[in-house]
Amino acid sequence: MINDVYKTVLSILNKNNYGYITPQDFNLYAKQAQLDILDDYFTNYNYQVNKENARQSGTGYADLKKGYEEVIDGLSETKNLTQNATNTYFLPSQVTTSDDYYLINKVLCSRGVTFLGEAERVSHSKITMLNNSSLTAPTEKFPAYVQNGSAITVFPATINGANDVQAQYIRYPKDPKWTFTTITGGTPIFDQTQADYQDFELAIDDQVDLVMKILHMAGMSIREIQAVQFAKAEDQINIQEKK
């Protein structure tokens, strides 16, 4: 998909002789555009949930929420968390799980192969009272955790094995990279066999949004107001159509 987006952006810019963006610039804009769209997914998902609750949404092909879920779930990972100390575990990161997390959906606790329970996220303002409560203190069946910086602390403290805690989370999409080989004359030619090649990790129907967002940023870069306005107007139309 990334080559299609690249060619479309260049085509629009070149058509009116607005200018040219380098592959390096394109990759930067592509990353920003992808993150922007990922953010929109969660907002749109919530919007659709509210519409369903207001009985303004349909089922089957009219179930827009399902489409958002599919894309978000495409970025879902379930991995063991690396133990920091006793019942403290590092959150997913490039160092520990080879990816950064966008949001932690659930934390699962086990002992060996025996599943204990799903840990519930609790705020720091509640955890002390929760631990002191006779009825609701965290147990191995109903564990809880709090977040401390880049790590979580799981309660009860008896959950403390190296492989006892697993997280299911939504990771950030990998940075897109349009890779190329340079031929004589300096024109870059797309080459997806390069080791650092990375396509977008969004649905194909996001291609229009990606083009417009990249065009928007490229227009700003080359100070071409018409390109910016065109991209902005298209973006607005897209947003309205999705609602």
Partner 1 sequence: MAYITQFQYYDNAGATPTNKNWGSYQYVSLYDIVNNYQLMYMGNHSLVNNESRYKVLFHAKRAIQELNYDAFKEIKVLELPIDENLRFILPSDYVNWVRISLYKDGVLRPLTENIQVGSALAYLQDNTGKFLFDQDGNVLSPEYSTLDFERIKGTKKSIYLNKNSQFDGFEGYCCDGCWYFDYPGSARYGLNTETANANPTFTIDKKSGVINFDSTMSGENCILEYISDGMENGDDSLITVNKMFEDFVYAYITYAILDSKLNVQEYIVRRSQKKKTALLRNAKIRLSNIHPGRLLMNMRGQDKWIK
Site string for partner 1, 56-75 (x = CB under 8 A): --------------------
Report the residue number, 111 or 232, with the smaller CB distance to partner 1: 111
Q: How many angstroms separate the CA atoms of 79 and 96, rounded?
A: 10
Hey, what are 11's tokens?
């085509």
The CB-of-54 to partner 1 minimum distance in angstroms stands at: 11
Report the residue number, 71 or 211, with the smaller CB distance to partner 1: 71
Q: From 34-42, 47-55, 209-217, 230-238, give the range in contact with partner 1 by CB under 8 A.
A: 47-55
Q: How many angstroms separate the CA atoms of 109 and 100, rounded?
A: 21
Question: Of the candidates 12, 30, 108, 122, which one interacts with partner 1 according to CB under 8 A?
Answer: 122
The CB-of-68 to partner 1 minimum distance in angstroms stands at: 13
Regarding 139 and contact with partner 1 (CB under 8 A), the answer is yes
Report the residue number, 19 or 117, with the smaller CB distance to partner 1: 117
Regarding 113 and contact with partner 1 (CB under 8 A), the answer is no
Regarding 108 and contact with partner 1 (CB under 8 A), the answer is no
Q: How many residues bind partner 1 (CB under 8 A)?
A: 15
Hey, what are 46's tokens?
């919530």
Regarding 167 and contact with partner 1 (CB under 8 A), the answer is no
The answer to whether 230 and 211 have CB atoms below 8 angstroms apart is: no
Among the listed residues 62, 43, 37, 61, the one whose alpha carbon sits nearest the alpha carbon of residue 52: 62
E strands present in the chain: 76-80, 83-85, 88-90, 101-111, 114-121, 144-148, 151-155, 165-171, 180-182, 188-190
Among the listed residues 103, 70, 112, the one whose alpha carbon sits nearest the alpha carbon of residue 172: 103
Regarding 144 and contact with partner 1 (CB under 8 A), the answer is yes
The CB-of-178 to partner 1 minimum distance in angstroms stands at: 38
Question: Of the candidates 17, 22, 53, 125, which one interacts with partner 1 according to CB under 8 A?
Answer: 53
Hey, what are 206's tokens?
């996001």
Question: Of the candidates 62, 95, 135, 183, which one interacts with partner 1 according to CB under 8 A?
Answer: 135
Cβ-Cβ contacts under 8 Å for 216 (sequence gap 6 or more): 227, 228, 231, 232, 235
Hey, what are 14's tokens?
């070149």
Greatest alpha-carbon span in the chain? 76
Residues that bind partner 1 (CB under 8 A): 49, 52-53, 117, 120, 122, 130, 133-136, 139, 141-142, 144
